[in-house]
Homo-oligomer: A and B are copies of this chain.
Amino acid sequence: MSSGNPKTRKKILHASWQLLEAAQGREVRMSDIARNAGVSRQAVYLHFPTRSDLLIATTHHIDEVKNVDARLAKSRSAATGMERLSAFIEAWGNYIPEIYGVAKALIAMSETDDAAKLTWDDRMQAVRHGCRAAVETLEKEGQLASQHSVTQGTDILSALLSVQTWEYLTINCGWSQQFYIEKTKVLARQILVSGNPGS
């Protein structure tokens, strides 16, 4: 963060982002990123001491550009728990494909790198907060299905909204993005809302 020209830093982050999205997180080397950014491999290491640092910075960079926080926060203004649930599923669910490549790389890195794991866990924590807010609202309205506590409902909803589940349903099962969003809303209602009004 301290050393180097911010313009070069941005060039590197942009190249990293672009390549990771294009390759869906796979087989993107430091040298590929350097070449694509039009700088030497060592310039990358001047800005980001390790691959993990670069992946983490790329994640934060995308968050900033795409303004995730604001997008997720929007769901908080919904009036009812049901609306809040839908709004959050839309906000996060539609964000996943935009970060999928980088997320994949970061998840893979998490297996061996603690800093990467912290960054990803932090991200998941933010999603959990959104989930919990929706589930808590349902509970206050007396609408939460009796089968689950607030915490359990949060666990289940965030599992449903995990990148891994998104990946399985869209990429492996062939669901379209729109279908994934609609279906996830239906599932969340079936699971979390008492009386279960369905689709």
Contact = CB atoms under 8 A, between A and B. Distances in A.
Interface string A26-44: 1100000000000000000
Contacts of A156: 169, 183, 187
A62 interface: no
A189 to B, nearest CB: 9
Interface stretch (A6-14, A83-91, A160-168): A160-168
Q: How many copies does the complex hold?
A: 2
Contacts of A186: 147
A60 B51 CA distance: 34
A173 B155 contact: yes
A57 interface: no
A112 B165 contact: no
B155 A175 contact: yes
Contacts of A147: 186, 190, 198-199
A69 interface: no
Query: Would you call the interface of chain A mostly helix, strand, loop, or mixed?
Result: helix
B187 A191 contact: yes
Contacts of A176: none
A22 interface: no
B155 A159 contact: no
A169 B159 contact: yes
A168 B173 contact: no
A186 B156 CA distance: 12
9 contacts: A108-B108, A152-B183, A155-B173, A155-B175, A156-B169, A165-B165, A187-B191, A190-B191, A196-B196
